[in-house]
Amino acid sequence: MDGERVGERARARTRTVTVAADEGLHARPAADIVDTVAQFDAEVRIEPVDDADNDDGDRDDDPVAATSVLAVTSLGVASGDDVRLTAAGDDAAAALDALEELLATQRAATEGKRETDSDSPSESTT
């Protein structure tokens, strides 16, 4: 069994992504992260990337499970901050791809605005 665990750790993948959401990782983006992770067979952890210029002690720099909205919001990650994603499991690469797309775009921050924009009538060409 120990060999199995060592093999699993060896397959862990890591990716660093800059958070684009205007408000950082507040409740909605954190919920989007949790929902995204739930779609994959992977254990995902998230942590802020240590920044020597931002060592003010205001946030928790330990990695947390990306399956908990409370844990993700407790990281205190702001817009423009880098986070490190670590994933292990059969879908690790796919989970990281999906999370990178989510975090590196404004989708999480502007989801409600886009729904409103899409309600406008489209022009008919008939």
Q: Is residue 121 part of a domain?
A: no
Q: Is residue 77 part of a domain?
A: yes
Mean residue pLDDT of the chain comes to 80
Q: Is residue 41 part of a domain?
A: yes
Task: Look up the domain containing 64 and give its range.
Answer: 15-110
The pLDDT value recorded for residue 50 is 75
Q: State which amino acid sits at residue 123.
A: E
Of the listed 17, 25, 26, 102, which one is catalytic?
26
Q: Is residue 100 part of a domain?
A: yes
> Token digits for 118?
């899409």
Report how many domains make up the chain.
1
Q: Is residue 90 part of a domain?
A: yes
Which pairing describes strands 82-88 and 43-48: parallel, antiparallel, or unpaired? Answer: antiparallel
Report the range of poorest mean pLDDT among 19-33, 35-49, 101-115.
101-115
- At 9, is the secondary structure helix, strand, or coil? helix
pTM above 0.75, yes or no: no
Residue 17 binned pLDDT confidence (cut-offs 50, 70, 90): very high
Report the range of poorest mean pLDDT among 41-55, 64-78, 99-113.
99-113
Q: Is residue 6 part of a domain?
A: no
23 part of the active site: no
Tell me the CATH number at 61: 3.30.1340.10
The pLDDT value recorded for residue 62 is 85
Torsion of CA 49, 46, 28, 70, to 10 degrees: -110
The pLDDT value recorded for residue 6 is 47
